[in-house]
Amino acid sequence: MKKLFKCAIQMLAIAGCLQTGFAQTSESIVPADLRHERIYTVITSRFYDGDVDNNFYNRERIEKGDPHYRGDFKGLAERLPYIKELGFTAVCVTPPVENRGGLDFMGFNAYDYETFEPRLSSEDFAWQDLINAAKQQHLKIIQTLVVNHVSNYGIRNHYFIPRLPLKFYRGPIKPQWPYIYNLGNYKNTFRMDNDNPCAPEWFQDWRHRDPWAAGPLKDPVTGATFPADNLHPERFFSTDEKDLNPEWFHREGWLTTSETTITERVQHAHLDENSIDLATDRWKIRNFFAALGKKYISRGVDGFRIQFARNTDRHDLIYMVEQWRQLKPDLIVIADVAPVEDGYGKLSGSNEPSELCPWWYTRTFNNPHDPGVQNSGLAVMDYPMFKTFATSLCNGHFSGIGNIIKYDWAYADPLSLVTFFHNFDIGPEDGNLTRFSGDTWKAACAYNLLWTMRGVPMLLMGEEFEFMRGMPQKPVLATDLLSTTGKAYLGDNLLADNIEQTMQHPLFQHIRRLNLIRAAVKALATGNLENGSEFISGISFVRNFNNGESYAVVGLSAFIDQDITVNRVLPGNYVDAITGETQTVATTTRSINFTVKANSAGIWVLNGLGKIGNDTTYLR
């Protein structure tokens, strides 16, 4: 009836991590003990609008009535109680610093790391106020940080990338409302959004006059006079990298699709025309971010999520983290290392270098075939697990999970792997292009696994009520608007008239109860994973903290009711946190038997206190 994870057992036994089943020990953990957290991820500009006066339209994909910058710090603070009610302990927010770009609402193209985005700020509510509000709700703030690239304007007060004032552009990209006459910032009196004091004097002169760009402006590089139709558009949007200072930037061209498994190209080439690659292997840049991180920490942030982490060499990130932890030893740091292939590199015989894989960033040993034993102090996103969902949970079964667990020995601390069903721009189904479109019970099964399996669960905003189900995760086609993708504005669902209905969604109730149970059963967050089996319709395993101090036997079922037997468990009195049923496991048998209803879970806790929470559609 059962199929043991034989491969998992063999691999982990070889690694010296396990005696039976699929278990691993935690040789050390991330200083803040990330294992205890349950993380809710927010795209701040699209979450909830607390101040209409700071709303802003980017110059691309414009839809009247739906400004790209619509949510803000104030709105997020107003709905922190919603996140708290759902049962999360930490909020991961998109980068809050000032950005520049044609479609920069996600915050991934920093222009000023020391100024918090005015389009997310209010006269009476700033980034610091959000941090303070989170503290009052006993929620941690994890700030997303991009260290490997900046906007094509450079960095305000530090570096100016040669560029012509955008208001002089005349070309194929025509201004749409509210830009009207040109592509310059429609909210600025002089239509300028590049106010870098490091710019040359001739550029500075245009900052305070000629809002409609009547000109004439003579390009100091080409000698061309502007405005002029279709003349040298690259001087407005493109970067001539030979002009870049190598102490600040790499000058090795732009990354192509065919180069995404070449370490040197991934970590030294520019991502795109709006993302200019910083030389993070230089002391200037490493120390720049070391100092910045300390400034953010002094404001009260609890951790950083490093976006595009694989585009920066592991040792450069570790240097920054070590500097940050001098100020805050318990700082949470999560590296978002998104592999192209299976995520194991040379450990699995992949064509992708280990140096671009998640496990590599959790270690300090320099052998791509051997993880070694050292812990880098970095937690990572569990992309290998995520990549199995298209063929497992999205089809309503758990097959293949054991093939992921067998590599847990590669990570410094597999219990601190951050697990997820959706990420900022990807979903779990084939191609990872859309938000989950399948049956609700399949999503519930996925959350049952993520909340009970090793790792730290992270939820993308809106998953709790199937927001934009089946829609593209991000705009791709020229005609795509944010409102037709996973980047649609979520806030209408959180209005006073709608929030109660939102909170009645079966998945909201499901995730809230999972959070209650995980918070109450220490083994689910901190226990080693052992004694695992896969079923045709389910999976079972044990979570064991400190040799039985907290101990839970977990069985998950999909699509049919499932009878489950788990052998070699600790004897004693067990209570199912889902149903409240009890049973005693004898010393002579050391077997526990129970039935799990379809799409539900059994969580049998040794010396458990009883049923936790009320029955829901998928936990009953």
For residue 79, which phi and psi values (nearest 5 degrees)?
A: -110, 15
- The C-alpha atoms of residue 597 and residue 533 are separated, in whole angstroms, by 18
Fold assignment, 37-153+258-518: TIM Barrel (3.20.20)
Sites in the chain below the pLDDT cut of 70? 1-32
For residue 193, which phi and psi values (nearest 5 degrees)?
A: -120, 5
**Cα three-residue angle 375-380-383, rounded to 5 degrees:** 135
Q: Which of 415, 393, 383, 389 has the alpha carbon at shortest distance from 538?
A: 393
- The C-alpha atoms of residue 333 and residue 329 are separated, in whole angstroms, by 11
Task: For residue 216, count other CB atoms closer than 10 A to its CB.
Answer: 11
What pLDDT does residue 230 have? 72
What pLDDT does residue 31 have? 55
- The C-alpha atoms of residue 569 and residue 456 are separated, in whole angstroms, by 24
Cite the DSSP H helix spans in 357-461.
358-361, 383-388, 401-405, 440-452
Token representation of residue 407: 């590599």
The answer to whether 142 and 92 have CB atoms below 8 angstroms apart is: yes
Amino acid sitting at position 173: I
- The C-alpha atoms of residue 174 and residue 230 are separated, in whole angstroms, by 11
Q: What distance, in Å, lies between the first and last C-alpha atoms of the chain?
A: 24
- The C-alpha atoms of residue 60 and residue 292 are separated, in whole angstroms, by 30
For residue 168, which phi and psi values (nearest 5 degrees)?
A: -90, -5
- What is the pTM (predicted TM-score) of this model? 0.94
What pLDDT does residue 25 have? 38
Domain spans, the chain: 37-153+258-518, 162-238
Q: Within its chain, how far is the Cα of 405 from the centroid?
A: 21
Amino acid sitting at position 284: K
Residue corresponding to tokens 């990570």: 411
Amino acid sitting at position 83: I
Dihedral (Cα; 156, 158, 160, 166), 10-degree rounding:
0
Q: Which of 258, 432, 424 has the alpha carbon at shortest distance from 351?
A: 258
Token representation of residue 286: 């490493």
